[in-house]
Structure 1
Amino acid sequence: MRSGGKILIGLVSGAAAGVVAGLLFAPKKGKDTRKAIADTSDNYYKGAKGRVTDFSDSVGHKIDALKAKTKASFSNSKTEEKINEAKAEIHEMKAS
């Protein structure tokens, strides 16, 4: 590992240790500190879960758009082609 990577790991580790020490020696009651930690971690979890869900939905819509475009290019009639192109556009809009 390069020395730059070691320095970065050292800085992050030192910052994390400082945060932990600050929480443990803070003038708040332990009960209040634990509740604050639980609330903060719950908020981070919900935010991350929402972003993962949004990403998953976006990927799903992009796949559906690609399927519809493929069907449009292999369709036998103009009507079927237009329907599949419209479906592709709808999925592309939902993906963004």
Structure 2
Amino acid sequence: MKTGTILSMLGGFAAGAIAGVFYAPEKGSETRKQILKKGEEYVDGVKTKFEEISNTVAEKFDSTKKGAEDLATTGMDKLDEVRKEVKSTVSEVKSEVKK
């Protein structure tokens, strides 16, 4: 899910929760408690989503890094193989030329 979508959903949730509390037929002290509670729930939700997004980004970074390392290792191995083949071919050509 995109970050903008998540933030929009959380913002809508917070606005709806606050609007609902303001229209509640309770005393001011109870309303303030409800606002505080909803605010804490909102903050907890944002923290949870932030942690989820952070973990996803970290996992993707690690995966990409590992893939790049594997690709570099494979490339170096192939380069070594080509060098050996070239040296072998050069040696064979030198032997044929000397004959």
TM range (shorter): 0.5 to 0.7
* Separation in structure 2 between the aligned mates of residue 51 and residue 61 of structure 1, nearest angstrom: 15
Q: Does 1:67 align with 2:68?
A: yes
* Separation in structure 2 between the aligned mates of residue 45 and residue 56 of structure 1, nearest angstrom: 16
Summarize the Cα distance change of 1:57–1:37 in structure 2 as closer, same or farther, 3 Å threshold.
Answer: same
Please provide the CA RMSD for this pair. Answer: 2.9
**Runs of 4+ residues over 4 Å off in structure 1:** none
Q: Does 1:55 align with 2:56?
A: yes
Summarize the Cα distance change of 1:26–1:43 in structure 2 as closer, same or farther, 3 Å threshold.
Answer: farther
Count of matched residue positions in the alignment of Structure 1 and Structure 2: 63
For residues 41-96 of structure 1, the C-alpha deviation after alignment (integer angstroms, 9 at most, x for no partner) is 0000000000000000001001101101101111146xxxxxxxxxxxxxxxxxxx
Q: Which has the larger radius of gyration?
A: 2
Summarize the Cα distance change of 1:26–1:73 in structure 2 as closer, same or farther, 3 Å threshold.
Answer: farther
Give unmatched runs, 5+ long, in structure 2.
1-15, 81-99
Summarize the Cα distance change of 1:36–1:42 in structure 2 as closer, same or farther, 3 Å threshold.
Answer: same
Report the alpha carbon displacement of residue 27 of structure 1 after superposing the two structures with TM.
Answer: 3.8
Report the alpha carbon displacement of residue 34 of structure 1 after superposing the two structures with TM.
Answer: 0.9
Q: What TM-score do you get using the length of structure 2 for normalisation? A: 0.51
Q: What TM-score do you get using the length of structure 1 for normalisation? A: 0.53
Among all aligned residue pairs of Structure 1 and Structure 2, give the percentage whose two residues are the same amino acid: 3
Q: Which has the higher helix share?
A: 2
